[in-house]
Amino acid sequence: MKILLDTHILVWYFTDDAKLTNEARKMIENPANEIYYSILSVFEVEIKHTAHPDRISLSGEKFIDYCKKLGFVQLPLDIPHIFTLKNLTRQENTPPHSDPFDRLMISQAIVESMIFITHDARIAEYVCPLIYKI
């Protein structure tokens, strides 16, 4: 199975954070699964690390190092990912969600037919069978 991991899932995995569920860890470590990370996650980590190194000690460079060492595959951002944004829909009566990183990663998962693993309840409000909230 091809799995795209949300940024916080990757950070939790790399830092052995207790917030990462056993279910998510098993999916990541299952050799039958091909694990992907979005280039957007590198961007997101670097922005957050630069702004608040006390809150996220992991730099973009270290993030990529971990991904490479673990054999995770980098997913670039491509034009079809961007154009898929217009097709994203949310469940009825849910507030707007404007996080561009989240929306683009959902679009990437849709275009590439990947399961998108997240812990973010706001992402789970999208109408998309590929989103898997842990």
Predicted TM-score of the model (pTM): 0.94
pLDDT for res 70: 97
Fold of 2-133: Rossmann fold (3.40.50)
| 133 Cβ contact list (under 8 Å, min separation 6) | 118, 119, 120, 121, 123, 124
Domain limits, the chain: 2-133
Q: CA-to-CA distance for 45 and 57, rounded, in angstroms?
A: 9
* DSSP conformational letter for 127: S
For residue 27, the 8-state DSSP code is H
Q: What is the pLDDT of residues 80-122, one digit of tens each?
A: 999 999 999 999 999 988 889 999 999 999 999 999 999 998 8
Distance of CA 126 to the CA centre of its chain: 14
Confidence tier at 9 by pLDDT (50, 70, 90): very high
